[in-house]
Amino acid sequence: MSAAVPIVITGLGCLCGAGMNLAECLESMFRNERNPHPPLRFSTDHPVSYPVLELRDEFRLPLDDQETVYARTSQLALAAAFEALADAGWDEESLRGKRVGVCIGTTVGCALNCDDFYRAYKDGVDPEMGVIERFLRSNPAAVIARQLKLDGPNQTVVNACSSGTDAIGLGASWLRAGACDIVIAGGADELSRVTYAGFSSLMITDTEACKPFDIKRKGLNLGEGAGMLILESEAVRGAKKARGYMLGYGSACDAYHLTAPRPDGAGLKQAMYEAFAAAEVTPEMISFVNAHGTGTPDNDRVESRVLSEVLPDVPFVSTKGYTGHTLGAAGGIEAVFTVACLRRGELPANIGFSAADPELSGAPVIENTRIDGNIAMSESLAFGGNNAVLILGKGDA
């Protein structure tokens, strides 16, 4: 594994249950507010209702009524990409002629989750094709490229819950390889009745607001949203200030079980060490960790075990109490938060945590906490045993 060149991050964009843009998200998280509630955008006949973190408001894209042609996941991806591009000082015009790559993680954005269509099909009705046509138009990475008329590498990563983290790592490697000048990277996912049913069937959703790393944690709350970073080559960046740096990426597969994480966390550790090596940092240099912290008993056990072994005494936080688990978007949103927290020099409290679990080796930050360092880590664990880790650096603006 060769060491990687730092990649400058020039723009950040994010929307989720915590806020409609990055500034709103940070404000509500540092006020330690959250708003889980039963899903409003769909219903089920499930006897138990699980709280979710939906977007608080409707959002409108700066497009000529075209948003209706894309599925919600791609609309979310576009909204976060527009915010990040504006933050980096780009628009469609100024991007013209640049080699721009798009690398986006998702789960729902690539799944043919059309249950109303399928119900009609099963009932012997011939359902209309509108929903399928929309699905075929809505591949998240392809939508961003098409909407901004981009020419360059393009990838939609479907590594389940580590997709967003993987997408940022893979996108950065395109820049290092000289395959493009700019990369729009992150993740996007909408709340869907299908994933809601799926996660309830796995019995890893909490009937109350989720409690990452707490002794009484029962499971996750689903969420929705998107988080995007703009990565640039030094040549294109010019004199532009850096919001942060993408220093290194590592990933590894547990090769253990379809849904359960490997109890000894060997895959997560391997991903961490690969990311450290890529970023040429040592564990002592990490000032905090944005943990995966879904609030499921298994995830938090394995994660805290590995964190206490590799990064003992390093403060960590799960921001999923504020955002819910946004699946493929989570890695994107959390990378954005990690860079923003480095910039702010502060971590929000791990909301939902009140009492330590003696079975876990460490505890997350319980209040908003000052941090001093310049380097932080964001990590994701996923279905299928994927582990992905990003090392991110503090910028100068």
Partner 1 sequence: MSVKEKLKKVLIEDLNLEDVEPEEIEDDMALFGDGLGLDSLDAVELVVIVQKHFGVEIKDMEEGRPAFQSVNTLAQYIEQRLA
Partner 2 sequence: MRMAIQGIGVSGGFGRGVEALRAALQTGTVEVQQGCVERNGGTDIFPAYRASIDGLDEFIPKRALRRIDHFSKMTLLSACLALKDAALLEGDCSRMGVVIASGYGALKTTFDFLDSYLDFGYSCSSPTHFSNSVHNAAAAHVSIQFKATAPSLTVTQFEMSVPSALLSAQQWLAEGRVDQVLFGAIDEYCEVLRYCRKQFFGLGEQGPLQPFSFDKQSAVVGEGAVFFVLTRADENAAYGCIDTVTLGNHLVCPVKLPQDDLLIIGADGHKECGRWYAQAFKGRETAAYAPLYGSFPAAVGFDLAVAALSLRDRTFYASPELSGAATSVVTLHRKLAEEKLVCLKFGPGGDYGLVRLSI
What does 154 interact with, of partner 2, partner 1, none (CB < 5 to 8 A by kind)? partner 2
Find where tokens 């939906």 sit.
Answer: 54
Given 218, 240, 343, 344, the residue binding partner 1 (CB under 8 A): 218
Distance of closest approach, residue 195 Cβ to partner 2, in angstroms? 8
Nearest to 312 by CA among 361, 378, 366: 361
Stretch that binds partner 1, among 86-94, 255-263, 278-286, 301-309 (CB under 8 A): 255-263
What does 30 interact with, of partner 1, partner 2, none (CB < 5 to 8 A by kind)? none
Q: Tell me the CA distances in angstroms from 66 to 61, 69, 112, one per residue in order.
A: 8, 6, 21
What does 35 interact with, of partner 1, partner 2, none (CB < 5 to 8 A by kind)? none
Of 109 and 321, nearer to partner 2 (C-beta) is 109
Residues 172-201 that bind partner 1 (CB under 8 A): 201
Residues 314-373 that bind partner 1 (CB under 8 A): none
d(CA 226, CA 36): 17
What is the DSSP track for 139-175? -HHHHHHHHTT-BS-EEEE--GGGHHHHHHHHHHHHH
Q: Tell me the CA distances in angstroms from 375 to 38, 185, 233, 279, 392, one per residue in order.
A: 37, 20, 20, 10, 6
User: Which residue type occupies 89?
Assistant: G
Q: Specify whether the CB–CB gap between 362 and 350 falls below 8 A.
A: no
Given 203, 235, 239, 397, the residue binding partner 1 (CB under 8 A): 203
Given 40, 177, 239, 258, the residue binding partner 1 (CB under 8 A): 258
Q: Specify whether the CB–CB gap between 381 and 303 falls below 8 A.
A: yes
Conformational region of residue 116, where left means phi above 0, alpha means psi within -120 to 50, and beta covers everything else:
alpha
What phi, psi does 19 have (nearest 5°)? 170, 165
Of 112 and 202, nearer to partner 1 (C-beta) is 202
Of 254 and 303, nearer to partner 2 (C-beta) is 254
Of 193 and 218, nearer to partner 1 (C-beta) is 218
Distance of closest approach, residue 208 Cβ to partner 1, in angstroms? 12
Q: Is 45 in the site for partner 1 (CB under 8 A)?
A: no
Q: Number of residues in contact with partner 1, rule: CB under 8 A?
A: 10
d(CA 364, CA 289): 10
Distance of closest approach, residue 385 Cβ to partner 1, in angstroms? 13
Of 83 and 254, nearer to partner 1 (C-beta) is 254
Q: Is 397 in the site for partner 1 (CB under 8 A)?
A: no
Q: Specify whether the CB–CB gap between 350 and 365 falls below 8 A.
A: yes
Stretch that binds partner 1, among 234-242, 244-252, 253-261, 339-347 (CB under 8 A): 253-261
Q: Is 3 in the site for partner 1 (CB under 8 A)?
A: no
Distance of closest approach, residue 53 Cβ to partner 1, in angstroms? 21
What does 60 interact with, of partner 1, partner 2, none (CB < 5 to 8 A by kind)? none
Nearest to 319 by CA among 351, 295, 288: 351
Residues designated as active site: 161, 292, 325
Distance of closest approach, residue 359 Cβ to partner 2, in angstroms? 24
Distance in Å from the first CA to the final CA of the chain: 31
Q: Specify whether the CB–CB gap between 261 and 296 falls below 8 A.
A: no
- Tokens read off for 17: 């249950």
Rg, C-alpha atoms of the chain: 20
Distance of closest approach, residue 70 Cβ to partner 1, in angstroms? 34
Binding footprint of partner 1 on the chain (CB under 8 A): 47-48, 201-203, 218, 257-260
